[in-house]
């Protein structure tokens, strides 16, 4: 059974992070700069929150907060649901579905070492299905 490590082997372990005292505006600019939908909020090396586009809409725009002065610690999603390198991908799929989250920080020995998203999980599933299809096609055509 495939694990989180397999996804990170394909996509890499780079994670865009911000600090809890960074402003919403700075983190939104950072997300735009990297073309991503969320950042992991880290304080003294520990994951303390996740801040996403959804948080911008619900906790900043709809609440009429000023993004230039609002700190991430005020509007980030907590507590953070994390996973480990050895967590099975099926378990991650169940977590993102049941908990309605899109980002799962990967933690090893208490330190952030990667991030997987619902999109990463879907892409992995599609790769596995394509591999199975390719294998069965080759088996059928070689067996004739």
98-117 pLDDT tens trace:
999 999 999 999 899 999 99
For 51, residues 6+ apart whose C-beta sits below 8 A from its C-beta are: 18, 24, 27, 38, 39, 41, 72, 75, 76, 77
For 142, residues 6+ apart whose C-beta sits below 8 A from its C-beta are: none
- Flag whether pLDDT at 1 surpasses 90: no
**Long-range residue pairs from 8-16, CB within 8 A, at least 24 positions apart, any chain:** 8/85, 8/106, 8/113, 8/114, 8/116, 10/124, 10/127, 11/116, 11/120, 13/106, 13/113, 13/114, 15/40, 15/105, 15/112, 15/114, 15/115, 16/40
10-48 pLDDT tens trace:
999 999 999 999 999 999 999 999 999 999 999 998 999
As its CATH architecture, domain 4-142 has Roll (3.10)
DSSP tag of 37: S
Burial of 18 (0-12, 13-18, 19+ CB in 10 A): buried
**pTM of this structure:** 0.86
């Amino acid at each position: 059974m495939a694990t989180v490590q397999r996804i990170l082997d394909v996509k890499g372990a780079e994670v865009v992070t911000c600090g809890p005292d960074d402003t919403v505006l700075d983190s939104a600019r950072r997300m735009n700069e990297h073309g991503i939908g969320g950042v992991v909020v880290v304080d003294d090396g520990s994951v303390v929150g996740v801040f996403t586009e959804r948080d911008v809409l619900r906790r900043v725009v709809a609440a009429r907060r000023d993004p230039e002065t609002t700190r991430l610690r005020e509007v980030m999603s907590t507590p953070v649901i994390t996973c480990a390198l050895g967590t099975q991908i099926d378990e991650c799929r169940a977590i993102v579905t049941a908990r309605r989250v899109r980002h799962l920080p990967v933690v090893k020995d208490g330190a952030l070492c990667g991030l997987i998203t619902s999109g990463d999980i879907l892409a992995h599933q599609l790769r596995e299905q394509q591999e199975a299809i390719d294998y069965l096609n080759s088996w059928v055509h070689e067996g004739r």
